[in-house]
Structure 1
Amino acid sequence: MAKPPTTTRRSINLLLDHAANHLDIGAPLPSETRMAEIAESSRTAVRGALRHLAEHGLVASMKERYLLRKPRPDDYFDVSELHSATEQLQQVLMERIYERDLPPGAEFTEAELSRAAGVSTIAVREFLIGFSRNGLISKNPRGGWRLCAFDTKYAQELGEAREMFELKSIERIAALPPGDPVFARLDELLARHEALAGEPAEGRAEFPALDREFHTFLIGLLDNRFAENLNEVVSMVYHYHYQWDKRDEIPRNRHALQEHLAILRPLASGDVPAALAAMRIHLRSSRSTMLNSLRNREGRTHAQ
């Protein structure tokens, strides 16, 4: 399995410190909002940290958030694993986009990102130059950077690459032995999707983060650096782009949530062929929705 992102590793260490110093065995963990303050991070990073703690036997589960044992030294990530400037910058940039601190078309400076990520402006500049090759950001002639849109060809190519990796991820599950920890993670993801599906459609603001978590989980099964890099771009492209046109956000999320369930249910029961078929439908649907959204935006632009 892939390591958690740098911000999640930092959150894990800070939550371990809190548990060691302030919680007794059997005590409930604080609220997500309070844990985000303790971990000095977003609630998305906190959920990733909680998942890690549950997988390593410190917390009962994502739902039953009470301490099973006190942290040991080997539960912590080494300091050397907490300072990947590239990971930190990418995580901060995506979180700012998800939380809408950076709306579509927004401009930002290297100094802003440097302060937010806690890394040098030199590291920021190198990261942005490299990341600009994805076509999602561009350098302003007068200085600074700008978040960009992208065209249908870009979306088509990205969708094709995504399909190869994600179908391979589901095939990988078929080769796992019974009792592998992956199946417990599958059950947890399924339960969270079922819970979200039971909420009113207008209250499903958590879906974009859960969607990214679902696809990141699948890609992580490959333990492939190229797949992981692509997944970050896919996540940013799909969730970032939809901020340009939010008119059908609620039905779009509702439909995608049901498609996730159609994949997770057979996966959790061991029916890999059914999960593969459902994943093909989901990827085609996702790509079609994205392309239609892009064409609509391009049509409105030309009409102006």
Structure 2
Amino acid sequence: MARPPTVFRRSANLLLDHIASAVAIGDALPTEQQMAALCDGSRTAIRSALAYFHERGLIGGLKERRLLRKPAPDDYFDDAELQSGSDRVREVLMERIYHSDLPPGAEFTEAELARAAGVSTISVREFMIEFSRYGLIEKKPHGGWRLCAFDRSFAMEVADVRQMFELAAIERFATLPAGDPAFATLEQLIARHEKLGSVMPARHKDFPALDRDFHTFLIGLLHNRFAQGFYDIVSLVFHYHYQWDKGEEMARNQYAVHEHLDILRALARRDIAAALEGMRIHLNSARSTLLQSIRTRERAAQAA
């Protein structure tokens, strides 16, 4: 059976959330137009979701669309099923970099990455060609790719743009109304940071994934596709080059957890000035350690 389109799966999950919280058993679902607005999707995706609900016994018919029962956990699609091919490739590539499976200068093939991501080599090739325009990877013969180094000026340009986006994200947070879903995510991030901080330094290698979630949350507040796409570059530049300097990794990660918590707690109490100052401190720390990792890489290259 063919895998259903990503946009349908996302729409279905969003509608299930709405049904669970806002539709009583026996009531009719909203109009297709209203549901499309709720999901920020097309009517085609909504109709596919309705057909899925009818098949699952959630609604009594495709015309009246009256709710027969509340959604159950197995009505939802798994998070992994909500990713497009390029999203999955990006996730696997980043995870392999974070866990040192792809150290600096490593080479890999499209087929290898496709197997790891569970996608076609076409999806991998399309993603890599798009990503290669930043100069961080280069094409090799026979479907191969190589992770590249970059110079100090490139790193500083990335750091400058990162600061612009992330400070703007904190200012955007200040405009959110009470009860916005971002506050629930904020509390979850605080709890996750406190939990990881309590087991540091033994679990310091768990930090990169949490770091990505922290910054992705902030960038997501901007609702800006260019900012979101740019964070892929930020993530690769910073975490990839840290692989050159493993000596300070434990202390660096431990310190960053506390910097994150300062920012998150300031946001939770709506102290935007403190959050902005905390972010400036954090970004300056990241810039400093990135420069140190580049110097480490350059010394290693000279000694080789």
- One-letter amino acid of the structure 1 residue matched with residue 101 of structure 2: D
Q: Which residue of 2 aligns with 1:123?
A: 123
Q: Provide the rounded CA distance (Å) in 2 between the counterparts of 1:103 and 1:216.
A: 23
Relative to the length of structure 2, the TM-score reads: 0.72
Q: Per-residue deviation at 1:121?
A: 2.4
- One-letter amino acid of the structure 2 residue matched with residue 112 of structure 1: E
1:70 aligns with 2:69: no
Q: Provide the rounded CA distance (Å) in 1 between the counterparts of 2:78 and 2:192.
A: 27
Aligned pairs for 1:175-190 (under 5 A) are 175-190=175-190
1:197 aligns with 2:174: no
Q: Per-residue deviation at 1:118?
A: 3.0
Aligned pairs for 1:49-60 (under 5 A) are none
Worse overlay, 173-182 or 98-107: 98-107
C-alpha contact 2:244 2:296 (8 A) present in aligned 1? no
Secondary structure at 2:146's aligned position in 1? strand
Q: Provide the rounded CA distance (Å) in 2 between the counterparts of 1:171 and 1:76.
A: 34
- Report which of the two structures shows the higher radius of gyration computed on alpha carbons: 2
C-alpha contact 2:110 2:143 (8 A) present in aligned 1? no
1:94 aligns with 2:94: yes
Secondary structure at 1:146's aligned position in 2? strand
Q: Per-residue deviation at 1:247?
A: 0.6
Aligned pairs for 1:222-301 (under 5 A) are 222-301=222-301
- Structure 2: unaligned runs, 5 residues or longer: 1-5, 17-69
Q: Provide the rounded CA distance (Å) in 1 between the counterparts of 2:225 and 2:298.
A: 33
List per-residue Cα deviations over 1:35-94 (Å, max 9, x = no partner). xxxxxxxxxxxxxxxxxxxxxxxxxxxxxxxxx972375x44899x84622222212211
Q: Per-residue deviation at 1:303?
A: 3.9
Relative to the length of structure 1, the TM-score reads: 0.72
Secondary structure at 1:288's aligned position in 2? helix
Q: Provide the rounded CA distance (Å) in 2 between the counterparts of 1:232 and 1:78.
A: 19
Worse overlay, 176-185 or 214-223: 176-185
Q: Per-residue deviation at 1:256?
A: 1.0
Q: Provide the rounded CA distance (Å) in 2 between the counterparts of 1:302 and 1:83.
A: 42
Q: Provide the rounded CA distance (Å) in 2 between the counterparts of 1:253 and 1:78.
A: 27
Q: Per-residue deviation at 1:243?
A: 1.4
- One-letter amino acid of the structure 2 residue matched with residue 115 of structure 1: R
Q: Which residue of 1 aligns with 2:160?
A: 160
Q: Provide the rounded CA distance (Å) in 1 between the counterparts of 2:181 and 2:71.
A: 19
Identity over the aligned pairs, expressed in percent?
A: 61
Secondary structure at 1:278's aligned position in 2? helix
List per-residue Cα deviations over 1:143-178 (Å, max 9, x = no partner). 611112221111100001111111111011100111
Secondary structure at 2:205's aligned position in 1? coil
| Number of aligned residue pairs | 241
List per-residue Cα deviations over 1:108-152 (Å, max 9, x = no partner). 111212222233323322221221112221122576111122211
Q: Provide the rounded CA distance (Å) in 2 between the counterparts of 1:188 and 1:88.
A: 24
Secondary structure at 1:93's aligned position in 2? helix
Alignment RMSD (CA, Å): 2.8
Q: Provide the rounded CA distance (Å) in 2 between the counterparts of 1:203 and 1:88.
A: 25
- One-letter amino acid of the structure 2 residue matched with residue 145 of structure 1: W
List per-residue Cα deviations over 1:234-259 (Å, max 9, x = no partner). 11221122112201101111111111
